[in-house]
Amino acid sequence: MAPQEAFMRAPEQQPRRTLYTDAMEIFHRAADLIGLDPRVRLELEEPDYEHIFYVTAKLKDRLKPLSAEEAKQFGDLAVTQVRNPDGLELLADGQIILNGKALLGSDVTVRRGHLRLPNGGFYQLVPGESQRFKAYRVQHNQARGPYKGGIRYHREVSLDLFKALSAEMTWKTAIAEVPFGGGKGGIQIDPRAYGKEELEAITLRFMYKLKNLIGPNVDIPAPDVGTNGNIMALMLRQYMDGERERHNSRGVVTGKDVKIGGSEGRTAATGQGVAYCIEDFYEDRGESVKGKSFILQGFGNVGSHAAQILHKMGARLLAVNDADGTVFNGDGIDVAALIAHLNDPKNLKRSVLGFAGAQKIEKKDLWEIPADFLVPAALGGEITGEVAEKLKVKLVAEGANGPTTPEADRVLEKRGIDMIPDIIANAGGVTVSYYEWIQNKRMERWPESEVNKKLEHALKRNYRIIRDISRNQPRRTDFHDSTPYCIGREVDARCAAMILALKRIEAHYLLEGFSQ
């Protein structure tokens, strides 16, 4: 074959392992076990839509710190007097964004694009240029309702990852019994490397492009890793800009600040849900969370709230690992003090590192700390087969999405370590997102106690159904009914959760049929 011909020819499809195929292993196992309708299987095997688009933004001028070696040649440079220090925005990586007229009117001495600040540091002045970012929105399935799922800002994202995470949302919304399907998306960006106004510009542009694809009854984003209520507020404003009936659009994103239509209890909801599941796990065995010890990975939204609530329930936090390091205190970490450490304005990385109430240890040593349970609440794929072999806990409660690899699942099963799978353990976020969406639609506002009561009921009811499926123990009580879901044999907890999701989704296709 001529080289040009080979170039134009699409490569043959090879089955290869990806994050998505790994994530779908459990889908196939559960689908086989329940004899999922073949056409429903085809519908669910791949997402409905996979959107990739690009977002551009003009960055600001910034100062990049020089290494000691680089700085030597500028040792005699006069110090630049900064007259408006408020205009200097220090980033976690040591770079400084020049906002507004930060240096204007100051006594600025620049040599070959370099200057020296009163803090003693030498910097290279990098003029702000326009930059392009890759953005995604995967809409996995809408059989049960509008697509729903978070927006992630992170350096390591891909179509493959968002496919896996959006499918997870399809299963999770079915398990939580909220009338949504699954979606997920975000931007390939390290948000800590950009200033506040830059992130604002990038987010507005992102929503400008996303607007065609979503809507309060079509697809409803929420916060995920690297995003929060502030980002949701910007997305909301951009979506509503120029709309006539702005009040009808408030439910286009959830996870908003309560002051602009967010729900009480939403910020803590995912961590709260993790805690409710763990509480129910122990209650079922006639035990209590009180007095149990745990280790935690991730101290962001999910991890810090889960830690706070579990601490209040009487559990002892022994160690925390985040993106920057790991801290340990065998007597128990004071969670409130650790949160205060994170919120200290001097803690630019917002990391657990440097916390005075614990000692620094290596990440690899985290996994070997003996404790009652582990809550992974960071990124996916962290509990590998090798890590699972080392663990000295009796329970893993997945706060993060997909933290345990399929290989690790097999190891945990073999070692008799119990599992509360992500699609129930961290479903608290999407459940309260649903409450937020209803409150927006009805123009209502519910108190936190009501939100948490509903959340506890919803999660514990569905978690009990999952446990019954797992033990093949069909029961109908005042609280829950597992009789339609048990399959006549015992299965592991992750498979049981997937069976519950698939049976609920399949019912929609079987009863409503397929649109032609």
Which stretch in 104-112, 139-147, 221-229, 499-507 sits in contact with ligand NAD by CB under 6 A?
221-229
Of the candidates 301, 303, 232, 220, which has an alpha carbon nearest to the alpha carbon of residue 262?
A: 232
Helix (H), strand (E) at residue 460: helix 448-471
Pairing of strands 293-297, 316-322: parallel
Of the candidates 477, 284, 424, 495, which has an alpha carbon nearest to the alpha carbon of residue 486?
A: 495
- Cβ atoms of 417 and 383 closer than 8 Å: no
C-beta of 84: minimal distance to ligand NAD in Å? Answer: 31
Among 19, 225, 252, 393, binds ligand NAD (CB under 6 A): 225
C-beta of 388: minimal distance to ligand NAD in Å? Answer: 16
Which stretch in 119-127, 135-143, 244-252, 318-326 sits in contact with ligand NAD by CB under 6 A?
318-326
**Considering Cα of 103, then 105, then 108, then 110, what sign does the dihedral take?**
positive
Helix (H), strand (E) at residue 207: helix 196-210
- CB-facing half-sphere around the CA of 53: CA atoms within 13 A: 17
Check binding of 166 to ligand NAD (CB under 6 A): no
Q: What is the 3-state secondary structure (H, E, C) of 128-144?
A: CCEEEEEEEEEEEECCC
- Cβ atoms of 42 and 513 closer than 8 Å: no
* Residue number, 377 or 502, with CB nearest to ligand NAD: 377
Check binding of 195 to ligand NAD (CB under 6 A): no
C-beta of 302: minimal distance to ligand NAD in Å? Answer: 4
* Residue number, 87 or 381, with CB nearest to ligand NAD: 381
Among 301, 308, 440, 452, binds ligand NAD (CB under 6 A): 301
* Residue number, 274 or 289, with CB nearest to ligand NAD: 274
> Segment 392-431, which members bind ligand NAD (CB under 6 A)?
399-401, 426, 429
Secondary-structure percent of the chain, ordered helix, strand, coil, rounded to 5? 40, 20, 40
C-beta of 110: minimal distance to ligand NAD in Å? Answer: 36
Among 198, 219, 224, 372, binds ligand NAD (CB under 6 A): 224
Round to whole Å and give the CA distance between 84 and 104: 8
Check binding of 297 to ligand NAD (CB under 6 A): yes
Helix (H), strand (E) at residue 295: strand 293-297
C-beta of 81: minimal distance to ligand NAD in Å? Answer: 36
C-beta of 426: minimal distance to ligand NAD in Å? Answer: 4
Report residue 92: phi and psi, to 5°: -60, -30
Catalytic: 414?
Answer: no
- CB-facing half-sphere around the CA of 22: CA atoms within 13 A: 17
* Residue number, 80 or 404, with CB nearest to ligand NAD: 404
Helix (H), strand (E) at residue 508: helix 493-512
* Residue number, 210 or 378, with CB nearest to ligand NAD: 378
Which stretch in 113-121, 311-319, 375-383, 502-510 sits in contact with ligand NAD by CB under 6 A?
375-383
C-beta of 427: minimal distance to ligand NAD in Å? Answer: 8
Round to whole Å and give the CA distance between 254 and 175: 19
Among 180, 194, 299, 355, binds ligand NAD (CB under 6 A): 299
Residue with tokens 């205190």: 329
Helix (H), strand (E) at residue 375: strand 373-376
Residue type, 476: R
Number of residues near ligand NAD (by CB under 6 A): 23
Among 379, 391, 424, 465, binds ligand NAD (CB under 6 A): 379
C-beta of 53: minimal distance to ligand NAD in Å? Answer: 21
C-beta of 456: minimal distance to ligand NAD in Å? Answer: 17
C-beta of 300: minimal distance to ligand NAD in Å? Answer: 2
Among 145, 181, 186, 298, binds ligand NAD (CB under 6 A): 298
Helix (H), strand (E) at residue 53: strand 49-58
Of the candidates 60, 172, 184, 292, the residue annotated as catalytic is 184
- Cβ atoms of 56 and 134 closer than 8 Å: no
Check binding of 92 to ligand NAD (CB under 6 A): no
Round to whole Å and give the CA distance between 440 and 216: 10
- x/- mask, ligand NAD, residues 141-160, rule CB under 6 A, reads --------------------
* Residue number, 225 or 498, with CB nearest to ligand NAD: 225
Which stretch in 139-147, 175-183, 317-325, 467-475 sits in contact with ligand NAD by CB under 6 A?
317-325
Which stretch in 74-82, 111-119, 377-385, 485-493 sits in contact with ligand NAD by CB under 6 A?
377-385
Check binding of 226 to ligand NAD (CB under 6 A): yes
Which structure tokens are listed for 260? 């602009």
Which stretch in 48-56, 71-79, 301-309, 479-487 sits in contact with ligand NAD by CB under 6 A?
301-309
- Cβ atoms of 425 and 277 closer than 8 Å: yes
Helix (H), strand (E) at residue 336: helix 335-343
DSSP 361: E
Helix H segments across 13-64? 19-34, 38-45
**Considering Cα of 340, then 342, then 347, then 348, what sign does the dihedral take?**
negative
Which structure tokens are listed for 79? 């110090």
* Residue number, 40 or 295, with CB nearest to ligand NAD: 295
Check binding of 265 to ligand NAD (CB under 6 A): no
Binding site for ligand NAD (CB under 6 A): 223-226, 270, 297-303, 321-323, 377-379, 399-401, 426, 429
What are the catalytic residues?
184
